[in-house]
């Protein structure tokens, strides 16, 4: 506001100067008006529709909320948001606000996995909302990484504590998925894979079925949260991209630099020029606009800067880009077991309840593998 008043004062003073001709006064006024429009802090149209740009580093922003189907609270408590003293989590808020946010901008995308929650939400929606959600799914903007009248293509196993090679066979051959994405692999395995750029592999789950049993497997370089500083949950302490020059803490350039730096860091552990940022965390997007508003701005200003290309994406779009890349991926044929997330922090056998059932699973897995390798 101070800047605006200052401009008006200048114009007023100039208009009083008698030696100015009408023509030059008009041009000064036009100049001032232009300046005024550029710093007025009003509406900005963010260009969020970027696709993949060949030859650039592409940062695929995959918006997601990891909603455990029963963990510290029951499934129903998580859905309706009761018992929040145990954990502040309401999945109904997530789905309500994500659908709203997707409808606000046709370029925004979101992935959702937990159908037990979606089913509870869906049956309570009006026919109008259901129709809008169907369109979001048909348009590839709400991607279900498991079901809902659409054949899913991507496995989103982001939180299981280790992964059996049988999964590669089941998801790839039996279900026909073309990719699986996960966060948890052994910490030493992860360090090694970052070093030799083998976080992303062709994972073959069956010797008998060979290449028909394989799937593109993407192990995340850190976890399923965004790079540090890019977590935008409503009450989190993050530095928002602030692009209004009339307000405090304007920071477009430094925040764009932060983004580019984080993208280049991740590019160092990837073979081609596509990286995925998992934009979400446990029970996040309870006010989805907080995330999408920031991502809109980052996509707009990062692409204006031009050093890297940022886009709204999904696991399917990311996998398309990986398939198109002229890169050979390492082959993996065994399990991602055992799982440790730190020194002496092995999670193997941590399910100590139901030992009889687990023993049966263990024995049958053995028979299965023997049959496979026969
Ligand atoms: Zn989980």
Higher pLDDT, 230 or 362: 230
pLDDT greater at residue 148 or residue 276: 276
What's residue 369's pLDDT?
77
Q: What is the DSSP string of 261-303?
A: HHHHHHHTT-SSSEEEEEE--BT--TTHHHHHHHHHHHHHHHH
Number of Cβ within 10 Å of residue 253's Cβ equals 10
Name the region of 240 (left: φ>0; alpha: ψ -120 to 50; beta: rest): beta
In the chain, the percentage of residues whose pLDDT exceeds 70 is: 87
- Provide the pLDDT for residue 143: 93
> Which structure tokens are listed for 21?
């001709």
The percent of residues above 90 in pLDDT, for the chain, comes to 75
pTM listed for this prediction: 0.86
Q: What is the largest CA-CA distance in the chain?
A: 100
pLDDT confidence of residue 361: 86
Q: What is the mean pLDDT of residues 360-370?
A: 86
Give distance in angstroms: CA of 35 to centre of ligand 1: 50
Cα-to-centroid distance, 9 and ligand 1 (Å): 59
Give the H/E segment covering residue 4. helix 2-16
Average pLDDT over residues 97-105: 98
Measured in Å, residue 283 CA sits from the centre of ligand 1 at: 9
C-alpha 119 to ligand 1 mean position (Å): 19
Handedness of CA 317, 65, 214, 274 (dihedral sign): positive
Encode 306-323 in three state secondary structure: CCCEEEECCHHHHHHHHH
Helix (H, G, I), strand (E, B) or coil at 96: helix
Is the Cβ–Cβ distance between 225 and 231 less than 8 Å? yes
Structure tokens at 92: 């109904």
pLDDT, tens digit, 9 for 90 and up, residues 245-258? 999 999 999 999 99
Cβ atoms 68, 159 nearer than 8 A: yes
Mean pLDDT in the chain?
Answer: 90
Mean pLDDT, residues 216-242 taken together: 97
Q: What is the pLDDT of residue 353?
A: 77
Counting other chains too, the contacts that 88-91 makes at CB distance below 8 Å and 24 or more residues apart are: 88/283, 89/282, 89/283, 89/286, 90/283, 90/286, 91/65, 91/67, 91/117, 91/120, 91/121, 91/283
Return the closest-CA partner of residue 67 out of 54, 79, 52. 79
Element (H, E) at 373: helix 355-373
DSSP for 218-259 reads: EE-SS-SSPSTT----TTS--------TTSTT--HHHHHHHH
C-alpha of residue 218 to centroid of ligand 1, in Å: 17
Q: Which two tokens stand for residue 268?
A: 């160092």
- 109 Cα: distance to centroid of ligand 1 (angstroms): 21
| pLDDT value of position 198 | 98
How far, in Å, CA of 370 to CA of 253, rounded?
Answer: 58
**What pLDDT is stored for residue 362 in this prediction?**
84
Q: How confident is the model at residue 15 (pLDDT cuts 50, 70, 90)?
A: very low
Q: Note the pLDDT of residue 310.
A: 98
pLDDT at 43: 95
Q: Is the pLDDT of residue 13 over 80?
A: no
pLDDT for residue 150: 76
Is pLDDT above 60 for 37? no
Query: How far apart are the CA of 327 and the centre of ligand 1, in A?
Result: 32
Query: Two tokens at 117?
Result: 């929650």
- Going from the Cα of 132 to the center of ligand 1, the distance in angstroms, rounded, reads 28
**pLDDT band, residue 5 (cuts 50/70/90):** very low
Q: Which residues pair with 18 in a beta bridge?
A: none
What is the distance in A from the centroid of ligand 1 to the CA of 282? 7
Phi and psi based region of residue 151 (left: phi greater than 0; alpha: psi -120 to 50; beta: remaining): beta
Q: Tell me the CA–centroid distance for residue 76 and ligand 1, in Å.
A: 16
Is 211's pLDDT higher than 80? yes
pLDDT for the residue numbered 206:
87
Q: Tell me, what's the pLDDT at 321?
A: 96
* Residues 100-114, mean pLDDT to the nearest whole number: 97
Give the distance (Å) from ligand 1 centre to CA of residue 66. Answer: 6
Which secondary-structure segment (H or E) carries 33? helix 22-38
What is the average per-residue pLDDT within 274-303? Answer: 98
Q: Compute the distance from residue 68 Cα to the ligand 1 centre, in Å.
A: 5
Total residue length of the chain: 374
Q: For 21-30, 157-166, 228-237, 340-349, which range has the lowest pLDDT when averaged over its residues? A: 21-30
Confidence of residue 64 (pLDDT cuts 50, 70, 90): very high
Record the tokens describing residue 61, joined without a space: 């922003």
Q: What are the pLDDT digits (tens) for 115-152?
A: 999 999 999 999 999 999 999 999 999 998 765 667 88
């Amino acid at each position: 506001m101070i800047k605006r008043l200052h401009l008006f004062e200048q114009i007023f003073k100039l208009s009083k100067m008698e030696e100015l001709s009408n023509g030059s006064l008009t041009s000064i006024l036009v100049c001032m008006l232009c300046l005024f429009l550029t710093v007025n802090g009003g509406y900005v149209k963010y260009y969020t529709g970027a696709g993949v740009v060949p030859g650039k580093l592409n940062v695929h922003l995959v918006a997601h909320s990891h909603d455990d189907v029963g963990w510290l609270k029951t499934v129903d408590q998580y859905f309706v948001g009761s018992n929040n003293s145990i954990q502040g989590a309401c999945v109904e808020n997530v789905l309500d606000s994500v659908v709203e946010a997707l409808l606000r901008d046709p370029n925004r995308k979101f992935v959702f996995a937990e159908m037990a929650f979606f089913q509870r939400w869906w049956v309570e929606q009006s026919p109008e909302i259901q129709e809008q959600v169907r369109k979001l799914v048909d348009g590839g903007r709400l991607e279900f990484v498991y079901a809902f009248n659409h054949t899913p293509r991507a496995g989103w196993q982001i939180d299981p504590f280790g992964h059996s090679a049988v999964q590669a066979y089941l998801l790839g051959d039996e279900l026909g998925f073309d990719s699986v994405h996960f966060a948890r692999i052994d910490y030493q395995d992860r360090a090694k894979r970052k070093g030799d750029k083998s976080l992303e592999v062709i994972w073959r789950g069956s010797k008998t079925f060979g290449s028909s049993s394989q799937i593109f497997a993407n192990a995340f370089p850190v976890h399923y949260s965004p790079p540090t500083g890019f977590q935008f949950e409503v009450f989190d302490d993050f530095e928002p991209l602030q692009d209004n020059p009339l307000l405090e803490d304007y920071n477009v350039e430094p925040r764009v630099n932060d983004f580019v730096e984080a993208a280049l860091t991740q590019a160092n552990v990837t073979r081609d020029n596509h990286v995925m940022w998992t934009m979400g965390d446990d029970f996040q997007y309870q006010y989805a606009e907080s995330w999408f508003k920031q991502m809109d701005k980052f996509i707009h200003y990062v692409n204006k800067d031009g050093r890297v290309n940022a886009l709204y994406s999904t696991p399917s779009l990311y996998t398309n880009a990986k398939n198109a890349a002229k890169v050979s991926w390492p082959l993996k044929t065994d399990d991602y077991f055992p799982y440790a997330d730190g020194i002496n922090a092995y999670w193997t056998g941590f399910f100590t309840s139901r030992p009889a059932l687990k023993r049966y699973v263990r024995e049958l897995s053995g028979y299965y593998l023997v049959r496979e390798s026969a």
